[in-house]
Chain A
Amino acid sequence: MSFRRHTLFWALLAAGVSSAFAARTDVTIGMVLEPPNLDPTGGAAAAIDEVVYANVFEGLTRFGPDGSVLPGLAESWTVSDDGMTYTFALHSGVAFHDGEAFTADDVAFSLDRARADDSTNAQKALFANIDTVEVIDDTTVNIHLLEPSGNLPFNLAWGDAVMVDAASADSLATAPVGTGPFRFERWVQGDRVEIVRNDNYWGEPVALEKASFRFISEPTAAFSAMMAGDVDAFPNFPAPENIPQFEADPRFNAIVGSTEGETILAMNNASPPLDNVLVRRAIAHAIDRSAIIDGAMFGFGTPIGTHFAPHHPDYVDLTEDSAFDPEAAKALLEEAGVEELTLSLKLPPPSYARRGGEIIASQLREVGINTDIENLEWAQWLEQVFKGKDFDLTIVSHTEPMDIGIYARPDYYFQYDNPVFQAIIEKLATETDAADRSTLLNAAQEMIAGDQVNAYLFQLAKTGVASVGLTGLWANSPTQANDLTGVSWEE
């Protein structure tokens, strides 16, 4: 014991001395939610990717900070003329953290594992179009599709499609082994995950030697952790109201960007009177987006009029079609013949939902619609709203990138069933021409806005904060990740 304490003392002293002369090489990142496990191929929790994506695990392709699809473990790829076969050329000399070599066999293993019948991959749909994975040689692999598609490199960039090794696949949940520039060090459950630099990394070495992810769910605790210097950065700070304080403090930089999260007031399209488009439109007109952005998000967020990210080139601004107009809302309700309407409003835990819900309830009351607010935990929300479809209204942010396709699923929780829309999405899946894709995407956005499937509120902002001197964190979040590969401390 005393021996250990001595070594520790000297180690600490040494660390103190060296850090006095050079820039820091460690970082502590704050996160709201602790990942339930560390296997991105076996769970949906965004927190998993926020720890391991690009840091510990890599896929054939990856997302860049602006959302573009970049090469990952695949150096390059080509598509056959019929659009049915992709050929990926892999980097050579890549090894997993346990020393196993990464080859084309691992690609086949990873993808087959993800799309197997008994797979617990949360995004199996990403792989639905894959017919077979064919190993050509150690660094070449062919992926044959069922239908022509331009989406494969995008799909393979997701955290759910990362490459894993057969030898370690079963224990990824607690001992993740990938090919990334950091390897997993340890997980103090309930507190933090630590990763350290992988000195045998195949690519550009990273500047950081060590990174800890600390899990702080209480917004106040997050604020004081930043203020007290316990945490160096909080890329998704849970309380937007504190951002101006950080901005005013010379010790911190606020990093405000956008996310892929369309925040919507979802309506149960199958439950009367919400099956009536007039009622849905009335609700949309009753809502003052600016009051919600101001009151719930303290000014952070971009109003949206459809289920599409405003920073996407194909976005159509339709906010005017459902502008705040209580008189129009009342007229529409009258036209629909609806009086004395009371709707349930079920709210999941995030503050955009809880606060936004209170504001929306008050705005709906102004046009004569009463709401019963019910605050739910995520497990209850999934059970009642998402699975049970037992709700009238709910607020949720859909954070997956390019997820307008959910409107083509009639059994999805808001239950929008429109064959014309489904046909558009079907066409989109096989359309490879950029201009035609644009046209289809525009049509899709306009259709769900015209049918006012849901009330579209705002694009969730990424409100982050970092200590001055820490550079290289993503400002936006095209996918849920804390990519630390480019992060470093300035001298």
Chain B
Amino acid sequence: MSYALRRLTSLLVTLVVASVVVFVVVEVVPGDPASYMLGLNASPDTVQALRTELGLDQTGVARWFDWVSGMLVGDFGVSYTYRTDVASMVVDRIAVSVPLALLALMLAVLIAFPAGLVAASRRGGVADTGVMGFTQIGIAIPNFWFAMLLVLVFSVHLRWFPSGGFPGWEAGLWPALKALTLPAIALALPQAAILARVLRSSLLDTLGEDYIRTARAKGLSSRAALWKHALRNAMIPVLTIVGLQFSFLLAGAIIIENVFYLPGLGRLVFQAITSRDLVVVESVVMLLVFAVVLVTYLVDLAYAWVDPRLRR
């Protein structure tokens, strides 16, 4: 329990420090949101009027305080460019980003598990060599390039999937899933490759351990041993990776969201940086940081629960 508390304190400290870092970094980004919004022919007093309206006249400290205290009660501020609640925008974007990350993760797991199991059970064999070769290539392919190729083949030529965009969940489950399929595949490939490798080596580790040898000496067939014991014990590092991959996918989909013009969190943050919508940048980055920190925390707790030695 005290371990959980200790980790929680450090989580909070990380969040507070992160909020300061995010705020400072974003505030020094050059470029004035007001002049961006008003364009080439605006007169200086018009720009000044808009700056006042947006509250850009206040000091940095005051705005940091407003921002953080607002976030604590769920008020993420109002977007400069869109003039709507950042919170409601974020909720809309999460409805795309989280399902996309989950779908990608699911695909990755679906590919990685059979691949990892086959590779581990036939260590050194043709299947192992093949799987390992594919995983090497999977890791080496830049996902945006893979995405370009997927679009070329599956939407431009075969027209099986839309080339991008998102119809919204209210358009029905199937159209929405269809829109997320290609991006999810592009995101899943490298993750599947990593996961398959982790699973394989983790299985080989457990298979080498004494109790498995004992079980096999007692007459347990090799396959049954693999399935029953090794897999369960090999799951811990694999689940850790899966957890980290989820938070990575949430934030790391920026480029893929741009290729497929999906209205997700990554694209929101990218556009917000370009248009100097500082409130949005700060809030979304903070949210992503929070997600990563929380997942890490939960993974740490799970580890400690499984292996008490880690509660140092």
Is chain B a partner of chain A in the same complex? yes
| Interfacial residues, chain A to chain B (CB-CB below 8 A) | 5, 8, 12, 34, 36-37, 43-45, 117-125, 173-174, 188-192, 214-218, 220-221, 223-225, 227-230, 377-380, 382-384, 386-387, 398, 400, 406
Selected A-B contacts with CB under 8 Å, 12 pairs: A12-B172, A36-B37, A44-B41, A120-B50, A123-B41, A190-B271, A191-B165, A225-B165, A228-B155, A378-B274, A379-B31, A383-B32
Interfacial chain B residues near A228, Cβ < 8 Å: 155-156, 159, 162-163
CB pair B82–A378 under 8 Å, yes or no, is no
Say which residue of A43, A191, A377 sits within 8 Å of B263 (CB atoms): A191
Q: Are A122 and B38 in contact (CB under 8 A)?
A: yes
Contact A122 B261 (CB under 8 A): no
Contact residues of B between 7 and 37, Cβ < 8 Å to A: 30-33, 35-37
In the assembled complex, B43 has its CB within 8 A of some CB on chain A: yes
Chain A: minimal CB distance from B269 (Å): 11
Please provide the chain B residues from 234 to 265 with a CB less than 8 Å away from any CB of chain A in the complex. 258-261, 263-264
Given contacts A44-B37, A228-B156, 6 further A-B contacts (CB under 8 A): A36-B82, A44-B40, A174-B82, A227-B156, A378-B274, A398-B40
Contact A221 B163 (CB under 8 A): yes
Complex: A118 Cα to B43 Cα, angstroms: 12
Instruction: Pick the residue among B43, B52, B267 that contacts A190 (CB under 8 A).
Output: B267
B259 to chain A, nearest CB (A): 6
Closest 3 CB pairs of A and B: A44-B39, A190-B263, A224-B163
Contact residue among B84, B155, B156, B163 (Cβ-Cβ distance under 8 Å from A189): B84
A416 to B31, CA, bound (A): 24
B66 in the interface (beta carbon within 8 A): no
Cross-chain contact B81 with A119 (CB below 8 angstroms): no
Decide yes or no: A120 and B53 within 8 Å by CB, A36-B81, A379-B275 being known contacts.
yes
Known: A36-B82, A220-B148. A118 touches B165 (CB 8 A): no
Asked if B46 is an interface residue, CB under 8 A from chain A, the answer is yes
| B92 interfacial by beta-carbon distance below 8 Å | yes
Q: In the complex, A66→B83 CA distance in Å?
A: 34
Q: Which residues of B contact A217 (CB under 8 A)?
A: 258, 261
A128 → chain B closest CB, angstroms: 9
Cβ of B276 under 8 Å from chain A: yes
Q: Judging by beta carbons under 8 Å apart, are B168 and A125 in contact?
A: no
With the chains together, A76 CA to B119 CA distance in Å?
81
Q: Shortest beta-carbon distance, A164 to chain B, in Å?
A: 15
Contact code string B273-312 (vs A, CB < 8 Å = 1, else 0): 0111000000000000000000000000000000000000
Q: What A residues does B137 contact at CB under 8 A? A: none
Given A44-B40, A123-B41, A174-B83, does the pair A383, B165 have CB atoms closer than 8 Å? Answer: no
B45 interfacial by beta-carbon distance below 8 Å: yes
Contacts A221-B163, A230-B163: A386 and B36 contacting too (C-beta < 8 A)?
no
Q: A425: shortest Cβ distance to chain B, in Å?
A: 15
Question: Does B116 have its Cβ within 8 Å of any Cβ on chain A?
Answer: no
Residue of chain B at shortest CB distance from A223: B156
Q: Pick the contact of B164: A36, A122, A221, A386 (CB < 8 A).
A: A221
| CB neighbours of B120 from chain A (8 A) | none
A119 close to B155 (CB less than 8 A): no
Which A residues touch B84, using CB under 8 A? 174, 189
Assuming the A-B contacts A36-B37, A216-B261, A220-B148, are A122 and B42 also in contact, with contact meaning beta carbons closer than 8 angstroms in the complex? yes
Q: How far is the CB of A43 from chain B (nearest CB, A)?
A: 5
Check if B109 is an interface residue, CB within 8 A of chain A. no
Residues of A within 8 A of B216 (CB): none
Q: Is B268 an interface residue (CB 8 A)?
A: yes
Assess whether B40 is in contact with A379, with CB atoms less than 8 Å apart. no
In the bound complex, how far is the Cα of B45 from the Cα of A62, in angstroms?
Answer: 27
B79 to chain A, nearest CB (A): 9
- Residues on B with C-beta less than 8 A from A223 are 156
Point out the residues of chain B lying under 8 angstroms from A5, CB to CB.
172
Complexed CA–CA distance, A386 and B36 (Å): 11
List chain A residues, Cβ under 8 A from B31: 377, 379-380, 382-383
Interface string of B159-194 (1 = CB under 8 A from A): 100111110101010000000000000000000000
Q: Is B93 in contact with chain A by the CB < 8 A criterion?
A: yes
Closest to B277 in A: A36
Q: Given the complex, which residues of B lie within 8 Å of A8, measured CB to CB?
A: 170, 172
A397 CB, min distance to chain B CBs, angstroms: 11
Report the Cα distance A142→B285, complex, angstroms.
52
Q: How far is the CB of A66 from chain B (nearest CB, A)?
A: 23
